[in-house]
Amino acid sequence: MLIEKGVSMSRYRGPRLKIIRRLKTLPGLTSKRPKNRKDSMNMNRSSSRKISQYRIRLEEKQKLRFHYGLTERQLLKYVRVSRRAKGSTGQVLLQLLEMRLDNIIFRLGMAPTIPGARQLVNHGHIRVNDHMVDIPSYPCKPQDVITIRDQPRLRAIIKKNIDLFQRDKLPNHLTFHPLQYKGFINQIIDSKWISLKINELLVVEYYSRQA
């Protein structure tokens, strides 16, 4: 059972396979999959077990938190902001998370995971509109241009990541120019392009008494 205590206010740094055994695919956290039959059986067993409505909402919330690499406090803050915005709270919440700089770097294929993208940002390797930004939660917006430092070793790393991880079609709100190592944000993301399979309404319901 997923229990909210101890590390609930901090960012998860434990075994990633342990998390995806419980919550299934979380592409932002890891590209790993259960490697053996035992792992698959554990996932199937947990999915077939009768669980409470509270736990269903909790697990949807945990998917969002682990996928985007947020602390509990950060996610709660995003929920509160979403409630004050126009439109569906759940959709606004997903858009806010998708437009974070670390997630944009990940979706462009410049990093294998969101934690990897966060590291690039923290180390000052990322430029937004020709200005260095070292805040992973920086809210990107349409027309922003994302580039990297002009450093041969860094470009080699980014090229390797692009070759390995930009296999799928980019979401329609992003464009990437490989020769210039440049990403472009075309628009706010459409919900159908969000890579995480999530019921955002259950997340909103989970926080209904807290946010």
Domain spanning 100-187: CATH 3.10.290.10 = yes
Side by side, which strands form the sheet with 174-177?
A: 131-132, 126-128, 145-148, 182-185, 174-177
pTM of full prediction above 0.85? no
DSSP 32: -
For 152, counting Cβ atoms within 10 Å of its Cβ (0-12 exposed, 13-18 middle, 19+ buried), the class is exposed
Handedness of CA 134, 173, 85, 206 (dihedral sign): negative
**Collapsed DSSP state (helix, strand, coil) of residue 64:** helix
Fold of 16-95+197-206: Ribosomal Protein S4 Delta 41; Chain A, domain 1 (1.10.1050)
If the chain, 211 residues long, is cut into consecutive pieces of 10 residues, what is the mean pLDDT of each piece? 40 60 70 55 53 87 92 94 93 96 95 94 97 97 96 92 79 91 94 86 86 47
Q: Which sequence spans correspond to the domains of the chain?
A: 16-95+197-206, 100-187
Query: What confidence score (pLDDT) does residue 196 get?
Result: 85
